[in-house]
Amino acid sequence: MGCVHGKCCGADDYCCCCCCCWCCGDSSAAGSEGGGGGAADVAPCGVVLHNDGSLLGQRRQVLLGAPLGSAAVPSHHFRLVYSSLSQRGHYPESPDRENQDCLCIRTRLQDNPNLHFFGVFDGHGQFGAQCAAFVRDRLVDILSADTRLLDSPAEAYASTFLATNTELHDSSIDDTMSGTTAITVLVSGDTLYVANVGDSRAVAGVWNGSAVVAEDLSCDQTPFRKDEYERVKQCGARVLSVDQVEGVKDPNIQHWGNEENDDGDPPRLWVPNGMYPGTAFTRSVGDSTAESIGVIAEPEVKVLKIASHHLFFVIASDGVFEFLSSQAVVDMVSKFEDPRDACSAVVSESYKNWLEHESRTDDITIIVVHIKDLSHVDSTLRHDPSEVMVFFKQAAKLPKLLRG
């Protein structure tokens, strides 16, 4: 949802060895500005290089999304198969507005075949694209250089976010009223470490024996959350909707409901005696002005042990989740064997939903990661034949694309 002051500015595609990092500029196909936002309007950007610098993938056609990537996790004998896609927002009054979302996929951190990083960064404010690109580049580098990463990954994550925030403040980028959210997943062997700052989201697709259900791996940091609301209030923030600030609604009565039903006017953060910055999130990287009222760069880190029932995970900007629930996204992803097609489907549906509700769309970015070749029989089942039979009867109900 971002900042009330809007989004602008962008950056060129960025590529590096052992990493597919790119800040997507205009990823719309020609003529899509006035279109309905279907899959045919979505075109990926970016190229990916092998560790030795040889070309892995070029720009692909619409329905295939970005290049298909694969990373082994030899310590636990499974592999990750992934793809990504970013769609520039549709802004009728600013047709040349650039995409402020960017993403990073870097495998083999610290040259360790069992360490892989995925992240989505959603910039906001006048220099949001520059902020997102800066954080995309520096956060993974700082994290990779942290000697605590293997032994204390959660501690390394928290330190990395704060260090990146300080570097952004000290950089040539004006982040007084600009910044970025960040949702990142570190795969370390059979464990996921999910670090979140802001209102983008990570969610896993989990097989429960009869269906694929959504398991949120992060919790949106917005004033809708009571704990975040109370924290920023204690830091001096006024928490009001735009209608309340402008006097349309009583500022002394909390009019907003929940995040799924905010009528397009969510609670935002304002300084005590001014009508800024108007952020709809309570944590971010950058936003030095908003720091004075409690907008912090400290991430919430969730740890998840990967098990046989974890089929895939999704990382996406709030452009996806504004009108789609976590379960709706998981339902769509589970229909596709190829994560490229899953990305295209989710982006297309998100774009369509935006235009059904508003005259514009947000930037929309997604990474889909399938967990493949993980044993579907836990060691506890191997000693009980009856339990094994029950397991395989349940597994037979699983969509074919997710059995591998």
Ramachandran area for residue 47 (φ above 0: left; ψ -120 to 50: alpha; else beta): beta
Residue 248 vs residues 45, 159, 171, 240, 395: alpha-carbon distances, Å: 43, 42, 39, 11, 55
Is the alpha carbon torsion for 351, 355, 357, 363 positive or negative? positive
Could you tell me the mean pLDDT of each successive run of 10 residues in the chain, 404 residues long?
42 34 38 31 35 34 62 97 96 90 97 98 96 98 97 95 98 98 98 98 96 97 96 96 89 76 82 94 98 98 96 97 96 97 96 95 97 65 42 52 51
φ, ψ at 214 (rounded to 5°):
-85, 135
φ, ψ at 62 (rounded to 5°):
-55, -60
Query: Which tokens go with 175?
Result: 């982040």
Please give the Cα distance from 55 to 341 (Å, whole number): 22
- Nearest alpha-carbon partner for 297 in 281, 315, 289, 285: 285
For β-strands 69-73 and 78-87, DSSP reports them as: antiparallel
Say yes or no: domain 68-219+283-372 is CATH 3.60.40.10.
yes
Query: Which tokens go with 173?
Result: 């980028």
Residue 263: strand, helix, or coil: coil
Q: What is the pLDDT of residue 3?
A: 52
φ, ψ at 78 (rounded to 5°):
-135, 175
Please give the Cα distance from 248 to 261 (Å, whole number): 19
- Nearest alpha-carbon partner for 49 in 91, 15, 11: 15
Distance of CA 6 to the CA centre of its chain: 19
Q: What is the pLDDT of residue 247?
A: 87
Q: Are 67 and 48 within 8 A, CB to CB?
A: yes
119: Cβ contacts below 8 Å, ≥ 6 apart: 103, 104, 105, 136, 139, 140, 182, 183, 184, 185, 315
The 10 Å Cβ neighbour count of residue 260 is 8
Extents of the domains making up the chain? 68-219+283-372, 222-280
- Write the DSSP symbol of residue 185: E
Any idea which residue has 């694929």 for tokens? 212
221: Cβ contacts below 8 Å, ≥ 6 apart: 196, 197, 198, 199, 228, 281, 282, 283, 300
Global confidence as pTM: 0.81
- Nearest alpha-carbon partner for 27 in 83, 84, 88, 68: 88
Please give the Cα distance from 354 to 201 (Å, whole number): 18
- Nearest alpha-carbon partner for 132 in 290, 321, 277, 287: 287
φ, ψ at 107 (rounded to 5°):
-100, 160
Query: Which tokens go with 286?
Result: 């950058």
Asked whether the bond before 277 is cis by omega within 30 degrees of 0, the reply is yes
18: Cβ contacts below 8 Å, ≥ 6 apart: 49, 51, 106, 107, 108
* C-alpha R_g of the chain: 21
